Structure 1
Amino acid sequence: MMRFMSMLMAAGLAALLACSNGGAAAAPKRPCLADVKKLCGLSRDREKIRACLIEKQDQLSQGCRAKIKEMRGAKDGAAIPAQKQPYGNDPKQISYVYPAMVGGRPPLIAFIHGGGWIHGDPVNTVWNKPAHFTQGYAFASIGYRLSPQVSIEEEARDVAAAIGALRRDANRLGFDPDRIILMGHSAGAHLAALVSTDSRYLGSDFGAVRGVVLLDGAGYDVASVMKGHGIEQRIYARAWGRDEAEWARLSPIHHTAAPNAPHWAILYVGSREESGNQSKAFVAALQQGGADAVVTAIPDTTHGRLNHELGTAGDYATDVVDAFVKTVVAG
């Protein structure tokens, strides 16, 4: 466990975090220094900085990510070759498809990245998932336009359009277009839940979604978050604005009457109260609507680590997801 921390240590990031011998004048030689200062501040408490970076790893700049990978001299899942699948004219309207290592027409696991609806990308958020899941399935990571360029409703429409494009090209890409598992982390969990409960987004593609995996989302009932006072409310306020009607319309919990995707695995960080409350309430609503839905608390992890470590050997969340996917595709 704590693989990202070990990667940073192996890369010599401690040198990048040093507050002496260079300061601002040395910044050009330390491509991560600006990122570290912005996200976590500068401190001699290396463990505190490392813990902060693990939690906020998805917000590191591409230059910092590239330098860390270069320094540690190792490849992760994102380095596996992928086929690009555009579905619109905007550069962000693209999916990256990682073919299965098995023959035939395996199911597809389609991942939707997080980032608070305002940042994130489909390449630097997959981590170990392609290498792990392509052992039995095709894997795709869906990109979508972000707020404030577009509304959150348009983000959901982008996700739906991406799924439609993937299905139409399934023969070339090598998967069964009628057996899809949607997976989303954080804001991506909200988008996955929304398109898998409100059939207006996917339309004729709705029935192809056999199962949904949600990783530590807290936006299943947006209004309850927006009316709170925690860190989630501050994060959500930047993307959601003040339109209460929109909060309700785009909250998956208000769309749990049938039809829904038939099978759901909802995971949340055990120590994160808002995510736990939302996950449990959403599961109860899905069950009332006739769906098979289970919720699992993941101990000894954080919001960022849950996503980063999915697909690694010995990871509890990975075991939960593997068992769920195997059951769904076998049914």
Structure 2
Amino acid sequence: MKRGIILKPRVFITRKIPEDILTLIEEVCEVKVWPEEDTPIPRSVLEQEIREVDGLYCLLTETIDASLLDLGKNLKVVSNMAVGYNNIDIEAATQRNILVTNTPGVLTETTADLTFALLMMTARRMEESSQYLRQGHWKTWSPMLLAGQDIFGATLGIVGMGRIGEALVKRAKGFDMKIIYYNRTPKPELEESLGIEYRSLDELLQEADFVCILTPYTPETRNLIGKRELELMKPTSILINTARGGIVNEEDLYEALAQQKIYAAGLDVFEQEPLPTDHPLLTLTNCVALPHIGSATVKTRREMARLAAQNLLAYLQGQRPPHCVNPSVLTPKL
């Protein structure tokens, strides 16, 4: 290195991001970007690119495991453009003194909107009705044609009372819904302020007309909703999952829907993403499936990209990032 020249930190970004946010990173760092917007970076390319960088800016589509982290000899920070981080081996990162950051908060309201939209779509059979019309089956008005379930005054059960759960409560209040919730740790302060009631998971499943899954994905919540839990639900109940795939056992859910043990399901997340087009769930008229668009508004996605950039740049410049997943790797001064 020549005297007086300070090398910029090197960063790799695994997907095309908005130009103005990319510019913010380029002002501080030497940057390389996987140029595709809709195609995930191949693992082989990521394995090559991570070898020399100080920072990695990634999405949920990338698996950041121990073997990949071992290749990043200079890697200091992994900035995940998402709230969830089950795509990253946090323990392995911590062992290697690599900070992991995420982007909570900015997508709360947008994801709550989508969750309630799925609730309405499934209850009123909107997707099925649209296809019924488009396929030329609509011949006359009929008293019970495509009749669905009422939302106003129904009981909403929320599994996982975090930020998005709280935002969903506010939407449900506008429909005069009774709201019950299950959380690993009860939140009595919210019960009073939001007018909600705590239930055990089994009690919630038995009582709720709508069950919305909003809990984080962890080893403890994997297959949290399976055959036994689905059988506790009422035949008129509807299951909504906008949290993470793997929390609901998809084979068991298919059987419950196909055998009409529950009324319908609305899903924005799946264990395998993208969901294969031959997946059994896609054959069912009582299952609404979306391509993981919970946070997909222009404003929210831009804010997520900006926060991921802020997290990345803060740490590379010796500052504490706004959102740290494993803060134990931070030096005391941060």
Q: Same fold (TM over 0.5)?
A: no
TM-score in terms of structure 1 length? 0.34
Q: Which structure has the greater CA radius of gyration?
A: 2
Query: Relative contact order (C-alpha < 8 Å, sep 6+): which is higher?
Result: 2
